[in-house]
Structure 1
Amino acid sequence: MIRETPVMTSDILDELTGATLFFKCEHLQDTGSFKLRGASHAVSQLPADCPGVATHSSGNHGAALARAASLRGFAADIVVPEGAVASKVDNIRRHGGTIHYCEPTQAGREAALAALVETGLTPVPPYDDDHIIAGQGTVGLELLEQVPNLDVIVAPVGGGGLVSGIALAALTCEHHRPQVIAVEPAGADDVMRSLAAGRRVDDHRPDTIADGLRALVGERNLALIRQHVEAVLPVSEAQIISAMGNIWQHLKQVAEPSGAVALAGVLAHAERFRNQRVGIVISGGNLDVAERLAGL
């Protein structure tokens, strides 16, 4: 079920950044994002008589969980914030998930999920879960096998499952262990603020085009980021959009805003990566193309 996603390169983007870049194409994973790795691992741990699973998601984890659950014959109920990207909602339904809308806040998500769990469904968190983190970490393990001797791996951070999993994967390198760097939108900077405060902040009002990175970072994930991630870098909305354009123009790939955030970080902080071998995770490609074309 899990694909070994390819690694792409671009001489032009290397010249633009002064680094040697290797793009891990998780947008080409089944369901369109890395999320299937964590969801499938978590679902594989459930008993055969599981009554069904439930989660909250902006879209990618929901589709991944619906897909993983359907392969085991489980129902999947997905809490989705009002205003979620239409193509992501369609993707959840396409893979067999049942949609339940909620207020577009962390509290709204958690309350709606709690109501579903009270009916007997098994919760599968989107990121703050050991099985999810372990599954997402296979992105890092796979990349390190495909491209030896990386100096740094750069990944986006929202809830934190991907970057914390990659950071754990990097610890398996006995020689030439790469640094792991996270990038987050300046409009959803709860990870940076939480690290500065020494605790997870609770005043989170994200305002970013990167809808997959609007969630509040998980407690487990924050602890792993604090211990194993070298830095968290901010990027602006304009820098995210520019990175999406660069991925399309030079790699001929479609990345959603969240999926382009890691490249945005490397472009915005190029001096930090100059003359290094850099792995960049394109985390998802579930862009609402019809909506974008309608705006042209």
Structure 2
Amino acid sequence: MATEPLSTDVVAELPVSLADVRAAAARIGKSIVRTPTLHSQTLSKMTGATVYLKFENLQFTAAYKERGALNTLLQLPENAREKGVIAASAGNHAQGLAYHGARLGIPVTIVMPRTTPTVKVMQTESHGATVVLEGETFDAAYAHARKLEGERGLTFVHPFDQESIIAGQGTVGLEMLEDVPEIDTLVIPIGGGGLISGIGVVARGLNPDIALVGVQAELYPSMFNRIKETDLPCEGDTLAEGIAVKQPGNLTSRFVQALVDDIVLVDERTLEEAVSLFLQIEKTVVEGGGAAGLAALLAHPERFKGRTVGIVLSGGNIDTRLLANVLLRDLARSGRLARVRVRLQDRPGALYNVVRIFGEQQVNIIEIYHQRIFTSLPAKGLITEIECETRDRAHLDRLVDALRIGGGYEVGLVELD
């Protein structure tokens, strides 16, 4: 990895240059949103770094992916435009390609696994694309897309491992460093590697001394494995599904190897915290992969303390039910939402006395669950679980003390992992 000062020869040997990214910026500039790069006072105070946020979740399709897709579409020869393009994707690449393909009158076919949520299929179709459902996995969908490419004479547009894609994604970094040239550290999510490759070209071209750190979900450390020659497993249900890539690109791996200083991993709990913080503090919705940069700062504060850090909010496409779960889990971990388990004797007034203590402590009760049958307690014993809302962890601790000391109850909390 790029732990030593880079020679101009190393950068020059890469197939995408700063000039290519600038050309892409000129090509796509009128049709994408130049999203703001804004200083976050609160996140800066929390992390000890000076934090700047690039709001790519404000693109029309709510993700940066449309930059590379549009740059690719605009460079197609006329005969390829007429026949159309094809891609395998169940996420932001599909929507970006579909949206700009419809704008330009270029037919777009997207192959998705049959397991793709219906909402994603509908969103892609709403942008004018033809969706083909094939296979149970992305690999199967990808293979079918390459088969259709040959049979129908379509042009395949890769989600990350393509020079025009990398150049288009690099325009994110070009805008960031034009708006805030004092940024000395960039923390960029990595799935297949297209975004960090493009941004890396820009960063090294404008400021060779800038620190460039990639971030992957701990469950999908594919680029981490490739670059560091490790063999960590790549599997599991991650909140950061947009960067859950099992096989990074061969082309993008070259860029990462040459340009990136390091790759860090973040766990699911930290990703959840980052998504929640963006909504609470910045009042913006960010998907799991888009929150990876902030998650890295939360997980490794000593690494970034005192630095001027640029973070890309790469996308905002997150299922609303999933977002609700993330927010509720964050409230539970902070003590603002809790489930208190109290052992009672099954006699008149027992629950009333417990509820009275909740009232005295000014704790709001949301739900009460009585358990008499499925318990190992004696027949006259019961367990009551009370879901409640408190101001903070200290308020919850006062409630528990009041129940144990004042009421003499056996009390426990149902904790999240």
- Match for 2:157: what amino acid? V
Shift of 1:149: 1.5
1:195 equivalent in alignment to 2:227 = yes
CA distance in 2, matches of 1:159, 1:11: 31
What is the aligned counterpart of 1:238 among 253, 269, 275? 269
What is the aligned counterpart of 2:164 among 131, 137, 140? 131
Q: Residue 61 of structure 2 corresponds to which residue in structure 1?
A: 31
CA distance in 2, matches of 1:149, 1:140: 13
Shift of 1:9: 2.6
1:167 equivalent in alignment to 2:200 = yes
Relative distance call for 1:238 and 1:203 in structure 2 (3 A) is closer
What is the aligned counterpart of 1:214 among 234, 244, 247? 244
Higher relative contact order (CA 8 A, sep 6+): 1
Shift of 1:292: 4.3
* Paired residues of 1:79 and 1:102 also in contact (CA < 8 A): yes
Indicate the larger mover: 119-128 or 129-138.
Answer: 119-128
CA distance in 2, matches of 1:270, 1:88: 35
CA distance in 1, matches of 2:298, 2:325: 29
Structure 1 unaligned residues grouped into runs of 5+: none
CA distance in 2, matches of 1:188, 1:147: 31
Q: Residue 74 of structure 1 corresponds to which residue in structure 2?
A: 106
Count of residue correspondences: 293
Q: Residue 140 of structure 1 corresponds to which residue in structure 2?
A: 173
1:105 equivalent in alignment to 2:137 = yes
Q: Residue 264 of structure 1 corresponds to which residue in structure 2?
A: 295
Query: What's the % identity of the aligned pairs?
Result: 37
Shift of 1:11: 1.7
Indicate the larger mover: 56-65 or 95-104.
Answer: 95-104
Give a deviation string over 1:211-235, Cα, whole Å, max 9, x none.
1112221001011001101111000
What is the aligned counterpart of 2:153 among 108, 120, 129? 120
What RMSD in Å do the two structures reach over aligned CA positions?
2.1
Relative distance call for 1:239 and 1:292 in structure 2 (3 A) is closer
What is the aligned counterpart of 2:185 among 152, 162, 170? 152
Q: Residue 279 of structure 2 corresponds to which residue in structure 1?
A: 248
SS at structure 1 position matched to 2:248? coil
What is the aligned counterpart of 1:284 among 310, 315, 318? 315
CA distance in 1, matches of 2:78, 2:114: 32
Shift of 1:197: 2.2
Give a deviation string over 1:146-201, Cα, whole Å, max 9, x none.
11121111110001000111000102215x74211110001000111111229xx8
Structure 2 unaligned residues grouped into runs of 5+: 1-30, 329-417
* Paired residues of 1:128 and 1:219 also in contact (CA < 8 A): yes
Relative distance call for 1:294 and 1:271 in structure 2 (3 A) is closer
What is the aligned counterpart of 1:16 among 14, 22, 46? 46
* Paired residues of 2:38 and 2:52 also in contact (CA < 8 A): yes
SS at structure 2 position matched to 1:232? strand
CA distance in 2, matches of 1:213, 1:87: 19
CA distance in 2, matches of 1:177, 1:144: 13
* Paired residues of 2:88 and 2:138 also in contact (CA < 8 A): no
- Match for 1:90: what amino acid? M
- Match for 1:126: what amino acid? P
* Paired residues of 1:9 and 1:251 also in contact (CA < 8 A): no
* Paired residues of 1:206 and 1:214 also in contact (CA < 8 A): no
Give a deviation string over 1:219-256, Cα, whole Å, max 9, x none.
01011001101111000011111100010111000001
Indicate the larger mover: 259-268 or 123-132.
Answer: 259-268
Higher gyration radius (CA): 2
- Match for 2:268: what amino acid? E
Q: Residue 95 of structure 1 corresponds to which residue in structure 2?
A: 127
- Match for 1:28: what amino acid? L
CA distance in 1, matches of 2:138, 2:118: 19
* Paired residues of 1:85 and 1:288 also in contact (CA < 8 A): no
Relative distance call for 1:77 and 1:280 in structure 2 (3 A) is same
TM-score under structure 2 length normalisation: 0.67
SS at structure 1 position matched to 2:277? helix
CA distance in 2, matches of 1:88, 1:260: 20
* Paired residues of 1:183 and 1:261 also in contact (CA < 8 A): yes
Indicate the larger mover: 91-100 or 28-37.
Answer: 91-100
CA distance in 2, matches of 1:2, 1:93: 20
SS at structure 1 position matched to 2:111? strand
CA distance in 2, matches of 1:149, 1:294: 37
